[in-house]
């Protein structure tokens, strides 16, 4: 019986506690406080983490700031500490003087430029120049030969088409660069023409040799036969004409134009066929003609293309 009463009492006490509004209020209040405190704690943690992230971004954007010096958590402090700063890096061995000059700052590069290339670079440049130097003259000579050949072939074709048969050409030993030119006509009112008729001379024979850089340099031209006097024809058959000198020559001159000028100078200079005994049979020589031509060029360079003093020949 007593036990039963005690159970009943306990049941009433439990019911009273569960039905007490204050008990329910305190219970709900305590739970809500804990939930709101938890939410506030989470929100504070989020806002604190967001602010910390913003501060880290600002420090990284600032040059030379604390963010560059001290890495954030979990970014490998030991790796950054092991790497030396750019100014502390040991200098790398350069391949040449140019690399050493380019690796430094503006002052170092300027000093390297003033000092010039190093021995290795200079030796490489000299080797390249030596290797290329042997090729340049060969290529240039080949180009000059092609230009000269094309020009002379055109000259031959133009002379072959002349209607008045003023001149004719024969190649010496089939060489395109060595011509024997026959001058068939001079002024028919001149004494030279009369001499040609009286001596049965059909033409005046001349020799033209063309240098490697023709048409940019003049040909060497001399009289072979007959032996002429005056008419600007000198010893050895050399011809005194300004256009045959390097100073008076132009690449626009053709062989036909040169021969017409020569025919005119013969008449102007009162050229005659030599009829003196013994002397008329003596032929002109190339060696004598070359020596005479060099001498007259020096004389005219000194006095200009006027009549020089008799003492100078």
- pLDDT (tens digit, 9 = 90+) per residue, 74-126? 444 444 444 554 454 555 544 444 444 444 555 555 455 455 555 666 566 65
Least confident of 15-24, 69-78, 229-238: 69-78
Q: For residue 228, is pLDDT > 90?
A: yes
Q: What percent of the chain has pLDDT over 90?
A: 42
Q: For residue 14, is pLDDT > 90?
A: no
Query: Of the segments 2-11, 43-52, 131-140, 227-236, which one has the largest average pLDDT value?
Result: 227-236
Least confident of 140-144, 149-153, 163-167, 251-255: 140-144
Mean pLDDT over 151-158 rounds to: 96
Sheet holding 204-209, edge to edge: 167-171, 178-183, 204-209, 220-225
The pLDDT of residue 13 is 54
Which of the pair, 197 or 278, is modelled with greater confidence? Answer: 197
Which of the pair, 255 or 61, is modelled with greater confidence? Answer: 255
Q: Considering 204, 206, 240, 289, which one is annotated as catalytic?
A: 240
Residue 139 banded pLDDT, cuts 50, 70, 90: confident
Residue 291 banded pLDDT, cuts 50, 70, 90: very high
Q: What percent of the chain has pLDDT over 70?
A: 52
The pLDDT of residue 190 is 95
Query: Of the segments 43-52, 199-208, 273-282, which one has the largest average pLDDT value?
Result: 199-208
Q: For residue 260, is pLDDT > 80?
A: yes
Decide if 240 is catalytic.
yes
Q: For residue 192, is pLDDT > 70?
A: yes
């Amino acid at each position: 019986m007593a036990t039963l009463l005690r159970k009943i009492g306990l049941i009433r006490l439990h019911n009273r506690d569960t039905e007490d509004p204050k008990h329910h209020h305190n219970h709900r209040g305590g739970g809500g406080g804990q939930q709101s405190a938890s939410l506030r704690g989470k929100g504070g943690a989020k806002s604190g983490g967001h602010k910390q992230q913003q501060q880290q971004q600002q420090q990284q954007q600032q040059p030379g700031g604390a963010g560059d010096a001290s890495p954030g958590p979990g970014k490998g402090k030991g790796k950054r500490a092991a790497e030396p700063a750019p100014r502390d890096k040991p200098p790398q061995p350069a391949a040449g003087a140019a690399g050493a000059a380019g690796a430094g700052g503006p002052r170092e590069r300027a000093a390297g430029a003033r000092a010039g290339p190093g021995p290795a670079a200079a030796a490489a440049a000299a080797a390249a120049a030596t290797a290329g130097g042997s090729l340049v003259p060969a290529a240039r000579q080949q180009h000059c030969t092609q230009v000269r050949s094309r020009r002379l072939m055109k000259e031959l074709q133009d002379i072959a088409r002349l209607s008045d048969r003023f001149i004719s050409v024969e190649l010496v030993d089939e060489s395109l660069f060595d011509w024997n030119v026959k001058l068939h006509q001079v002024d028919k009112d001149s004494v030279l023409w009369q001499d040609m008729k009286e001596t049965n001379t059909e033409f005046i024979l001349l020799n033209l040799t063309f240098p490697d850089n023709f048409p940019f340099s003049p040909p060497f031209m001399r009289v072979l036969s007959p032996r002429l006097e005056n008419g600007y024809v000198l010893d050895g058959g050399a011809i005194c004409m300004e256009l045959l000198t390097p100073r008076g020559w132009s690449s626009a001159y053709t062989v036909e134009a040169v021969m017409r000028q020569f025919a005119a100078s013969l008449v102007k200079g009162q050229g005659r066929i030599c009829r003196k005994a013994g002397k008329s049979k003596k032929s002109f020589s190339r060696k004598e003609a070359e020596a005479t031509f060099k001498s007259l060029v020096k004389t005219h360079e000194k006095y200009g293309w006027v009549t020089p003093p008799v003492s100078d020949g």
